Structure 1
Amino acid sequence: MALDKLLEHEAHSEIERIGAVAQGQAEQLIAQARERAQTMIDSRRRALDSDYAAGLTRARSAADLDGNAQRLEATNSLQVQAFERAEQHLRSAPQAPEYPQVLARLIAQGLESLPGATVVEAAPAEHDAVRQALGQLGRTMEVRANPRVTTGVRLVSPDGKTSIQNTLLGRLERVRGDLAPQISRLVAE
């Protein structure tokens, strides 16, 4: 019997040793699996964080571009409105009582460039104001109708080959390029 007990005891000891080794190996495998799983989780989290940051950067860039485009469109629209209002105001200038003085200045400036001019062309509705302006300047010149010359005058040389046009609308067109950046700056402020 003692041999049975001894064999049984050794078998139990061997089983316990094998169980302990298996338990140790199982714990080691579980620890390694947990470590690999945590590494995969951390790696995936970093990838997701990176994707999130990249998406956020793209969204911000898109929003900035859209905002800039809208600002540019608004600025352009305001510039167009500003020039349209200025043009409307200038088109109504011939009805102002001081319009003959404005024409006198325009004619005088034109005569500086073309002193021998003998003809003044203007829109038919502006002929009375042109005659008053010539009277203010002490000049007598032929006044001709030219419906394309509004808000100002066109002076013509005696031979008709040389002319100079000086109109309020023409001046607005000439300064449009110079004024556009100033208007943009004012709108931005």
Structure 2
Amino acid sequence: MKRLAVYCGSATPADPRYIECARAVGRSFAERGIGLVYGGGRLGLMGAVADATLEAGGEVIGVIPTALVDAEVAHKGCTELHVVETMHQRKQAFTDLSDGFVTIPGGTGTMDELWEAMSWAQLGYHAKPVGLLNVAGYYDGLLEFWAKMGEVGFVRAQHRGLLIASDDLDDLLARMAEYQPHRTIFAMKARDL
């Protein structure tokens, strides 16, 4: 994995574990020679992951919509900063520029990015690993919901392994590196669905 997209929040929660998580991810990427692809912002967890990657000598590629550049939240210190018109273009760029996706804590935008990466993997638009770093139990409820979708039958058995989750970054990255693509919906026939 040469580059990974990181989905995370632009907020700075009061609990310091979330910012430290972002910094640890950035440092780890740089130490491993993994380039960071992210939302291009300088605030919150986004800014922390980018700053830590840069401080450790790593590559940082930001992708940000014009509207957010205009709001003066763009991180001007990125190795590369791609300015796009829409959020859809931003998410497509994340997919095009990265070899996989890591989600750390965030809010609505982070969830949008995670679920789109999952949906696109399930369908067959990409065959890249989708990881979730469950810091301080932040995603416990989401992981329960993911399991529930499988139990009920809304996630097929062959797709239940799409989401690679761990509370340990080293474990998560190792499992993502070993990811084997599944049989996508595009490769199935109606009888399989």
- Larger fraction in helix: 1
* Bigger Cα Rg: 1
TM-score, normalised with respect to structure 2: 0.27
TM-score, normalised with respect to structure 1: 0.27
- Larger fraction in strand: 2
